[in-house]
Structure 1
Amino acid sequence: MSAINPFHLAVPQSDLDDLRRRLAATRWPERETVADWSQGVPLAALQELVAYWADGYDWRRCEARLNGVGQFTTGIDGLDIHFLHVRSPHEQAAPLILTHGWPGSVVEFMEVIAPLTDPVAHGGRAEDAFHVVVPSLPGYGFSGKPSGTGWGVERIGRAWAELMRRLGYAGWFAQGGDWGGIVTTAMGGQAPEGLAGIHTNMPLARPSAQDRAQDGAEVREALEAGRRYTKFDSGYAKVQSTRPQTIGYALVDSPVALAAWIYEKLAGWTDNAGSPLDVLSMEAVLDNVMLYWLPGTGASAARLYWESYGRIGQSGPVLLPAGVSTFPKEITKAPRQWAQQILRNIVYWNDCPQGGHFAAWEQPELFVSELRACFSLMRQEQ
């Protein structure tokens, strides 16, 4: 069994001083010629965020919080994997691995770890407890950056199964959204020893021509969401899936470019009233951006699109028990009849009243209640 090593963050002050120097030296473009976000992040919105980043934001607060949760690394398949690991005070707790996506990070789950691990202290029951593991995807956060090709979602899924084995968990659940949902679905198809069921807040779909031709509001909404994403919202994915190295130069060298690249998606993919700050605080936004800036992962994170974007949904069917929670402002829509082409054993499905793409981050209480409801059904079957 390979070693599990404690990981302590202590970012050199020189790195933070360099960040402020770069922010102060930003060469700004002229403002947009529209009155909304349709051309990208408005100049005033980004300048507001950057001004706070330079003069009000405290990285040491985030650093201390991450250190306080419990961080570790372990080498899997030649790559160091960074992860948070919090054991529940309830020994009968079910192990659960949570996987983030892009442009997210482990900070998406910071508000749900305590209620998941200690439900009694957060309005739940002891039988709802989980031991929680939250890894950083390869090339993201403080995980290692792959130096060769091949780190796609299937390989990540196998690595996560190995991680849970190393932690001593014989039976466990998996959850994810965005790339995390894709990795989790791939794991479900792989059905590694110990995986008892999965949950996703972004179900994949593989609809046939007959499925697409069906009439009904749900199908029409799904088709329209797909067209809207393709026409107006998929440029980032096209760039990252074809030229991750090229965009990586800007994302690793310019903190403002990185912030804009991420902030646009937080605006478009959260359930907000016109600004991402309606849902997420500036501290939360910048904590997440810093997990890309400090380790310089703009290019390495983008490469996951190059590895796997064109093969999303092509993994085998998932026969294990699966649960789905949908949120109204999700990027794309997948009616249940589409999702069950991949998830063959759906035991839980719920359409939530609010929330967007970053479910755990935006709606932590609702997210926790969804996982408790879903996995309680699967626990009963064990």
Structure 2
Amino acid sequence: MRARLTAARLPETETVYRAAPDPRRWQQGVPLAELVDVVNHWRTEYKWRSFEERLDRNGQFRTTIDDLGIHFLHRRSARADATPLVLTHGWPGSIAEFVDVVDELADPQDADAPALATDGLTAVERKWTEETRDFWRHRAAYAKQQATRPQTIGYSLVDSPVGLLAWILDEFAECSDTEDSPFETISIDRVLDDVTLYWMTRTGASSARIYYESHNSLDPELRVDVPSAVTMYPRDIEKCPRPWAQERYRQIVRWRSPESGGHFPSLEVPRYFVKDLQEGLAAVLSA
């Protein structure tokens, strides 16, 4: 991997070049200067083995579900009465999203955690719908590509570490609650943990297929009748007004819309994420 990074052939700088900090730097995608800095860090300073050791300490396992090989971490709680909890991720996420919050979830410092604890749209909800529509119209090229031709982009994602980095880094920048760079809230090593995990395991193509397999398969008539807790982070890529959410989730027992956070809250606002998850689960269990 380091040899490939050293030999990487990069394009010229973007034609919307501006000096940092400036959110407009990302209008054509990942800025060349940003990518060069991350590639150099990845090649010379990043330590994959330390992340590998963290995964081993949590407990790594493999199983087969419906003939599909699944890798997962299983961290047992220190408490015999703990409630089992499954944390899942989407793309371009991975188990790297949760390594910084699993300790507090499995062995919380607060001895009482998980205990019991409109008509029309508001102005904020209307803004959510506008932002969601804007995302799908102007900023969702990666999703369209992976939902229609995942194999084609998959060759680049599996073969080129720099190509994979740029493809994923663009989404961290797009979906994070930041002004200029995703590294304002997410550490560069945590992003590289995520990207390296994809590259080492050659899963750039297979992971992209979730879009092809899922985008047209959801039943529009599906209704969820079990108690549900929902949190809408302000910089997530899709934000649904509560009246619309209640059409599908028929028993929302807790609804939160915090002041900060994006598509990767466990990386951006880990303390809030853990507390919110504990309180949401408590509300579901009490219901």
TM range (shorter): over 0.9
Q: How far 1:291 moved relative to its partner?
A: 1.3
Q: Which residue of 2 aligns with 1:62?
A: 51
Unaligned runs of 5+ in 2: 19-24
Match of 1:364 among 261, 264, 270: 270
Q: Which residue of 2 aligns with 1:161?
A: none
5 Å-filtered alignment, 1:85-124, equals: 85-120=74-109, 124=110
2:121 and 2:241 in contact (8 A); partners too: no
Q: Distance in 1 between matches of 2:148 and 2:261?
A: 30
Q: Which residue of 1 aligns with 2:6?
A: 24
Q: How far 1:312 moved relative to its partner?
A: 4.5
Local SS of the residue matching 1:75: strand
Q: Which residue of 1 aligns with 2:27?
A: 38
Q: Pairwise CA RMSD of aligned residues? A: 1.6
Number of corresponding residues = 277
Q: How far 1:263 moved relative to its partner?
A: 0.3
1:23 and 1:255 in contact (8 A); partners too: yes
Q: Which residue of 2 aligns with 1:266?
A: 172
Is residue 2:128 matched to residue 1:222?
yes
Unaligned runs of 5+ in 1: 1-18, 130-210
Q: 75-84 vs 281-290, which deviates more?
A: 75-84
Match of 2:220 among 283, 295, 314: 314
Q: Distance in 2 between matches of 1:332 and 1:33?
A: 29
Match of 1:257 among 163, 180, 184: 163
Q: Distance in 2 between matches of 1:365 and 1:218?
A: 24
Q: Which residue of 2 aligns with 1:128?
A: 114
Identity fraction in percent: 47
Q: How far 1:87 moved relative to its partner?
A: 1.1
Local SS of the residue matching 1:119: coil
Q: 68-77 vs 235-244, which deviates more?
A: 68-77
Q: Structure 1, residues 199-258: CA drift from partner, whole Å, max 9, x if none? A: xxxxxxxxxxxx9xx564134213311221122211001100110000001111100000
CA 1:218–1:251 in structure 2 vs 1: closer, same or farther (change >3 Å)? Answer: same
2:158 and 2:202 in contact (8 A); partners too: yes
Q: How far 1:293 moved relative to its partner?
A: 0.3
5 Å-filtered alignment, 1:293-332, equals: 293-312=199-218, 314=220, 316-332=222-238
Q: Which residue of 2 aligns with 1:178?
A: none
Q: TM-score, normalised by structure 2?
A: 0.92
Q: Which residue of 2 aligns with 1:338?
A: 244
Local SS of the residue matching 2:63: strand
Counting strand residues as a fraction of each chain, which structure ranks higher?
Answer: 1
Greater relative contact order: 1 or 2 (C-alpha under 8 angstroms, separation 6 or more)? 2
1:73 and 1:82 in contact (8 A); partners too: yes
CA 1:24–1:127 in structure 2 vs 1: closer, same or farther (change >3 Å)? Answer: closer
2:157 and 2:204 in contact (8 A); partners too: yes
Is residue 2:195 matched to residue 1:289?
yes
